Every structure is written in structure tokens, then in C-alpha cells.
Amino acid sequence: MVRIQVSEHRLINIRRSSLCDNCSLHNCTSFIDSRVIECLDFKPVFSVFLKCRECGKIYDPYRSLRSLDYELCPECNHSVNNSPSITFVCRE
């Protein structure tokens, strides 16, 4: 689960296991015993839109389940230039 700050005093929780976990649609047939990451019938509990800090695009964070950084839109998250660099420090 990820907590995202959407305003000064409001946070939302996004469950990363499946888009179905964040959906308020009842009697849905999209779930087929696997992780759902895209669904045309997805209805969030309430609508949230964020502005990407990299490109300025407005995006829906609920649809970014695979994102590493929720302040970036899905396109910026998956681009090569913004991939996180991991630095290992070895001590003798």
C-alpha cells in the first residue's frame, strides 16, 4: 500500500496488488484471479488527479500501480531517463 498526499491535509491509500482493490464498482466481472492493472470499467472511491513534476501532465495516480515514484505520470515513470539509479557502497 502507498500513501499519497493529494492536498495539505488529505492523503489517499493506493493498494498496489490490483486495480480492483481500489475500485468501488460492484458486481464487476473484470477480475479473473490475476492482477488487474488496466480496466475500462474502473471507478475509484473518489477522483484524484495529480500534476507530474517532470512533464506537467495531469494523471490519475490510481492507474499507476506499477509506478516507483507517484509524483510522476506513468510515462515519466517508465522512461529510461527517470529510472532510479542504485548506488552500492562497499566498505573494506
More confident: 16 or 89: 16
Q: What is the pLDDT of residues 18-45, one digit of tens each?
A: 888 889 988 887 777 778 888 888 899 8
Query: Who contacts 25 (Cβ-Cβ below 8 Å, separation ≥6)?
Result: 41, 42, 43
The answer on pLDDT for 81 being more than 70 is no
- Average pLDDT along the chain: 81
What's the pTM value of the predicted model, to 2 decimals? 0.68
- Enumerate the domain spans of the chain: 2-78
Q: What is the Cα–Cα distance from 47 to 86, expressed in whole angstroms?
A: 34
d(C-alpha 64, C-alpha 74), whole Å: 6
